Each structure stands twice: as C-alpha cells, then as structure tokens.
Structure 1
Amino acid sequence: MAAKGHKARAERLQNATGALATAAMAAMDEKLPWFGKLSAQDRSWIGLVAQSGITAFVDWFRDPDAHSSMPTRMFGSAPREFTRVISLHQTVDLVRTTIEMIENTIGELLPSEDIPFVHEAMNRYAREVAFAAATVYAQAAEMRGAWDARLEALVVDSVIRGEADESVRSRASALGWTGSGTANAGTAGSAEVAVVVGRAPSSEPGSTNVADAVRHAAREAGADALCAMQGDRLVIVLGGTSKPVEIVQTLAEFFGPGPIVVGPLVKDLMSAVTSARAAVAGLRAAPAWPGAPRPVHADELLPERSLSGDGHARRQLATDVYGPLTMGDGVLLDTVSTYLDSGGSIEATARAMFIHPNTVRYRLKRVGEITGYSPGNPRDSFTLRVALSLGRLLNPEPGAGVL
C-alpha cells in the first residue's frame, strides 16, 4: 500500500515538472540580478540544466536506489563552457533559488499530504546536487589547470628557442602575464624580463606543484613569472623587475641542487631569447667555477662561458672589455697586460714599464672604471686575462676596433 502511494505521489510530481521549470526560470530572473544580464544562449543553457535537474529529481524521487547517480548526471546536459559562464558561487545561488521556488510552489501543485514527503526528498536531493556542482567545477578547474600548464610550457619553450612573437605574447597574457609584476606596476620602463635556468627539483609524490609555487612566490616578491620544466632543468621567465637576482634568491628553494643562472635583463618578452641564451650557456659553464654564488648572473660567468664555446660570451668580452682598453694610445692595455704577466705586482709592473708605481695604480684604477673589472681582484683579473686573450685572437691590431 505504501509503495502504491509513493508511486502515485511520483506521478503527480511528474505532472508538475513543466510548471516547476517555468517557475524556476521566473524565480531566477526575479531574484538573481546577474541572470538577466546573460545572453539568451547562456540563459537557455541554464534553463536546460534547471529542467534536467527537476526531471532528474522526479526520477530520483520515484526510485532513489535505481537513480542514485542522477544528481551528478544532471549537469551533463550543459556544455563545457557552462563553468566559464557562471561561477561556482552563482551556481549555488541557482540551486538555492530553485529549491526555494519548489518548496514555495509545490503546495499549489500537489495535495497537502504529498508535501512532507517531497520536502524531505528535496533536502536529501539538494545535498547531492551541491556535491555534484562542486565536482563539476573541480573537474573544470583541473582541466583548465592542465591546459594552462601546457600553454605555459609552450610559451617558455618558444622563448628558449627564440621563436617569441605576438602569438607568444598573447598566450602569455592569457596566463595572466603582464610583465610589470606588482611592485612596479604602472611604472614606466619597468617591464624588463630576465630568464632564469637551474636544475629541476627532485619530484616527490604529493609535492606541491612547482610552477604554481614559483608564480606565487614571484608575485609576492613583486614580479611576474612563467615557469616550465624542460627535462632536468627548471626555466623561469621573470618580468617586471630590475633586480632579478634578488628575486631569484627568494625562489632558490624551488630549484634542485647545483647552480642557478640569471640571464641579463632585456626590454620585453619578445627579446627574452637573448637572456635565455646567456642563462643556458651559463648553466652549462657554471661547473668550471665551483665557488660561484647561487644564484649567479650569466655575465659573471663570461670567462667560463667563452671557454665552453659560447661565441656570444667571447664577443662580449672582446668588445666590452678588450675593446675599450685599445682606445687612445693603448697604455691601459699595456699596463694591465704587464700587471697580469707580473703576477699582480705593482712594483714589478712599474719596473718593467719604467714608470712610477703610483702611475701603475692610477692606470689600473682606470681599467676598473672602464671595464668594470678590477685587476687587483683575483676573479676580475681572471676575466681580464681571458678577455685580453680573446681580444688578441679576434682583433690582432690594437686600436683598430674589435671584430
């Protein structure tokens, strides 16, 4: 007898679905201000989901055991773009509005003896619908996250390979890249970019996504970041900072053991291949300087990079270091060359050149001012020696200009 009564209630509820769906759309339009601003197509999608939900509730009400998956399947009638049209918060508002409408309307459509049974079923069903909505949005978020990760890897790979163009800039913008960071946002000339390369961290089950952590930490430090794993190395493209080494010091924990090389600053993402080339060459040459700081700027590795076969580093040393020393009468070139050959002794240099030691000191000071490398510093003297050797190889005629 109870089963027969339940079947009758289900039939009466089935007959009321059309009126309930119409009332649901009217309630949404009345109580949800944002609903009326949607396009006709978007509203039709939502109406389809509402109709599907009410129909699914009736089927579930008729036999909960046979239709236990109905709450989850009700969102299947909506296209994937549904999650982009309205937020999870708005979806909750829709569900709440629909349930309230059914509770307020059901008394006009069904006999009074059916109301307690329908209300009890609605409470159970609403809980399942809430979980179903959360599942739909969680799956959509995971799909977007996976797509964003692939897109980000594509952008970083294009930068490394020197194929950055307007399409790459557009893709980076879709990922939230502005190139201006946060601390420098709105500052003219602040959109500088540097590429950072280091060893990839060892992957551990359950570890936090490195790319997400890097972007968050960079944002906290006032910079934009794009991040990608490329084999055994981690590549980060930093934007919106004039002090990338300081930013990378806060990101060092995300790299694996070994050197971290920061490429030179360039004006924008389109020019980032120059920074990437220097950073990658620096990572390859870094083992030749065991005492290098971590992180280290690629320009600090110019001698090691030149020895490892980096033609750009060779030309930079010959042009920026050797070239200025050949200008004029070439006395600075002769002085620093003699100083290095004399084992760094000012007195021995003065005797070899028949000049006063103070003259040697003055000339060495000028060398440091012109080149940025102090001959009295062991590291700088090594760079100067390599630069002089490269300059003589590339340009054997002093004063004639560097090739």
Structure 2
Amino acid sequence: MATGQDQDTEAARTTAAIEELRRAVRALSQAAVDAFGSVPWFPGLPAQTRSWARLVVGRELMLMAEDIATPQPPRLRNIFSGAPLEVTGQISLDQILELIRLTVDVVLNGIHDVMDDASASLVRGDLERYGREVAFAAAAVYAKLAENRGRAGAQRQMLLLEALIDGGEEQIAERASGLFPLGVPVRVIGMLPRSDAGELVLLEVTRTAERHRVTMCAAQRGRCVLAILPDAAADVLTDLASPGLWSTEAASSDGPLIASHTVVTSSAVSTLSAAGPATAAVLSSLRAMPAWQGPPGLLHVDDLLPERTLCGDQQAADQLVAECHSPLAAAGKGLVETVDALLAHNGSPDAAARSIPVHVNTLRYRLDRVIALTGKDPRRSHDAFALRMAFTLARAGITSWRGV
C-alpha cells in the first residue's frame, strides 16, 4: 500500500508532467499540422477550411492538456461547433475523424521528443483515453450540426417562398442566393394536403426531387405545400402528378393525401426572380381546388380561371376576359354571336345554327375559329362555364374585376 509520502511524490510527478505537456503544446500542434499535408485530400480544401482546421488543432490540444490535468470529459465535444457553415459543409465527419486520429497519433509519437521518458509515460495513458473518446464527441457535434443545417435550410426555403408571395424581385434574388439557381427557367407547383398530412406531403415532394437529383425549394404555407422546380425537371413533375404516388397506407379512410390527387402547376417562368405572379396564381388555384370536378393528375393554373374568379382572384378574371371574350369580339364575323347561340342551346350546332340563323356548316366553321382563338370549346361543360363567365364579365363592363 502506498504511503502518504508516496502519493504526494506521485502527484508532484504528474503535475510536473502535465506542465511539460502544456509547454509542449505549441510544438505538438505544429507537428500535427505538418502531418495534415500528408493526407491526400487536405491540400485540396479551400484555404479558409485548411486555416480553420489548423486553428482547431491548436485549440483542442490546449484543451486536451487541461482535460488530462483535471481530469474531466474531453472538451472536444465542442469541436467545430463554432465553425462557419461553409467550412463544415466542405469537410465531412469522416475527414474530421481522420484528422483527429492523425493528431492523436502525432502527439503520442511526439511526446518523447518534447518530454522526458518518465513524464511521457505518465501522460500516455490519458492521451490514449482521450483519443478514444474524442471521435465519439466529434460525431455528436456533427450530428447536431446536420440537424441545425436541416432546420436552417427549411427556414431559408420558407423565407424564399414568402418573398415570392410578398416580396420584390430584388428580395427574391437575395433569398435565393446559395439556395436555388437564378439563371434557369422555373415552374411553381402546389398541392393541397389533407389537414393532417402537410408534413408527409412535403417530405414526399422532397424525396421525389432527391430521387431525380433535382435542386428544389419546397415549404408549407398554411395548409398549402408549394415548391419551385427547374422547368427542365419534367420527370419530377410527372412523378408528383401521378395519383398512385399519393395512394399510400397513409391515404386511409380520412381521404386522399392531397385534394383530388391533383398537383397544380404554373407556366414556365424565365427566372426565379420573376416567379412572384406565378406563385400567386398557384396559391389562388389551391384555394379554388375544392371546386374542381375534373380528372386527377396535373392541373394548370389556367384550367381553374373561372373557379379562381369566383374565389375573388382579380388577375384570373381579367385573364379570363382577355382570353375568352376579347379575341372573339376583335375578330368579328359573328363569333360572339355563335358562342352565345351554342351556350343557349347546350352546345348543339344544329339548334344554334337555326337560332341565328346560319347554315350549320357556317356555324361549324365559326366554331373552329372560336376554338383556335380561345382554346375553349363551348360544347364542353367546363369550357362553356369559362366562356359564359368571360362574356358576363365583359358585358357588365368590368375591366378590372374586384369581386361581387
């Protein structure tokens, strides 16, 4: 059994050894940093990242000496916790662990060069313990960083979509920086999830884009899920518009995951900065979605112009008149009269022709002109609905409709 005097002697030797270790930190740090040059991938890192790694090594070796002196749990649990996001994004956890192992090995091999053998043997066991524990600590920190980056990324996507709704082009460009490319044509798409399925739908949208390796921005706003996609990402849009995608176990008796199994899309926009009106059109379409009685799948915002108009969308009303009445009125040649007759006789060409009256072949020729100019066929129920509403608004003298 060791006597009190022996214990005092041992404590004094340990204290002296730790003091030697503290004085040796600068030389050991330089040796570790020099060793980083032998790691194949390290010289290829950006200069800022290499500099940060060197600073961390010096700091952590000083903390290591303090930990061994206490002793206490290794402070390396804080490693890189204060690093800029661009730094931790450029150096992976595996690479950090490789540098940690290399640093500990350099210290273990170098302590005999900076300390006498007796002192080195005293701290060697603590150094080995430290080397085993720091890898777990660094992994925990990186896991937390990944979680924080995920939250920050989601928040940035939400802020970008808010800028598309309420901001100007300059604010959109600012919030898109580093998140979504500005120089590519885009589409805005939207879904109306079941009241309890918003997060599930958002996750499925994100997974679909990741599966196709497509950069996308998506967020939930109220009940709606909105996303920005490159116009070239047709495969993503096709997958999302497939009703089968939303026929999962989660789509129970409570109803489909998204309203009508339908995805709403805007037209292509030349650049993200100019996508504000497209975003507004998608949101308006989602508000009008419960009135849609057509087939599921992909639905263009213009397909819902009459429903959007009834929901108070002034832009939709103006567009409806501009596309469905103005071209016919400008063309003359009885096209407005022909549409009126077809609407009054449930789309029957024979009955419409007798009511004007013109030969039925003349009416059919006019009908072809109507379809070419407006894209609407008054013999189809939804097209007739759009034409009737456009004609009503135009005849009421409403050039900037603001609701009834």
Normalised by the length of structure 1, the TM-score is: 0.79
Task: Please give the alpha-carbon distance, in whole angstroms, between the structure 2 residues aligned to 1:378 and 1:55.
Answer: 78
User: Does structure 1 retain, via aligned residues, the 8 Å contact 2:32–2:103?
Assistant: yes
2:312 aligned with 1:309: yes
Task: Please give the alpha-carbon distance, in whole angstroms, between the structure 2 residues aligned to 1:6 and 1:214.
Answer: 62
Task: Please give the alpha-carbon distance, in whole angstroms, between the structure 2 residues aligned to 1:360 and 1:159.
Answer: 45
User: How does 1:1-400 map onto structure 2 within 5 Å?
Assistant: 1=2, 5=10, 8-9=13-14, 11-32=16-37, 34=42, 43=51, 46-47=53-54, 49-62=56-69, 64=71, 67-72=72-77, 75=79, 79-81=82-84, 84=87, 87=91, 88-110=93-115, 112=117, 118-161=123-166, 163-175=167-179, 177-178=180-181, 191-199=185-193, 202=196, 214-221=205-212, 223-241=214-232, 246=238, 248-249=240-241, 253=246, 256-258=257-259, 260-291=263-294, 293-394=296-397
Task: Please give the alpha-carbon distance, in whole angstroms, between the structure 1 residues aligned to 2:233 and 2:157.
Answer: 23
RMSD (Å) for aligned C-alpha atoms: 3.6
Q: Taking every aligned residue pair, what percent have the same amino acid on both sides? A: 28
Give the CA deviation at 1:305. 1.4
User: Does structure 2 retain, via aligned residues, the 8 Å contact 1:224–1:239?
Assistant: yes
Task: Please give the alpha-carbon distance, in whole angstroms, between the structure 1 residues aligned to 2:10 and 2:219.
Answer: 62
Name the SS of the counterpart of 2:241 in structure 1.
helix
Task: Please give the alpha-carbon distance, in whole angstroms, between the structure 2 residues aligned to 1:365 and 1:36.
Answer: 65
Specify every segment of 5 or more residues in structure 2 that has no aligned partner in the other structure, as ranges. 251-255, 400-404
> Given the superposition, is the C-alpha separation of residues 213 and 110 from structure 1 closer, same or farther in structure 2, using an over 3 Å criterion?
farther
Give the CA deviation at 1:57. 3.6
1:141-196 deviation per Cα after TM superposition (whole angstroms, max 9, x unaligned): 333332222222111101012x1323421321222x1157xxxxxxxxx5133242
Give the CA deviation at 1:129. 0.8
Normalised by the length of structure 2, the TM-score is: 0.79
Out of 227-236 and 140-149, give the one that drifted further.
140-149
Instruction: Name 1:187's counterpart in structure 2.
Output: none
Specify every segment of 5 or more residues in structure 1 that has no aligned partner in the other structure, as ranges. 181-189, 397-403
Give the CA deviation at 1:126. 1.0
1:93-141 deviation per Cα after TM superposition (whole angstroms, max 9, x unaligned): 3322222212222334455566666544433221211112222222233
1:243-291 deviation per Cα after TM superposition (whole angstroms, max 9, x unaligned): 5853641696499432543233322222212112211221222222233
Instruction: Name 2:253's counterpart in structure 1.
Output: none
The letter of the residue matching 1:23 is L
Out of 135-144 and 340-349, give the one that drifted further.
135-144
User: Does structure 1 retain, via aligned residues, the 8 Å contact 2:188–2:266?
Assistant: yes
Task: Please give the alpha-carbon distance, in whole angstroms, between the structure 1 residues aligned to 2:45 and 2:34.
Answer: 10
Count of residues in Structure 1 that have an aligned counterpart in Structure 2: 377
> Given the superposition, is the C-alpha separation of residues 124 and 370 from structure 1 closer, same or farther in structure 2, using an over 3 Å criterion?
same
User: Does structure 2 retain, via aligned residues, the 8 Å contact 1:61–1:121?
Assistant: yes
The letter of the residue matching 1:202 is D
Task: Please give the alpha-carbon distance, in whole angstroms, between the structure 2 residues aligned to 1:221 and 1:20.
Answer: 49
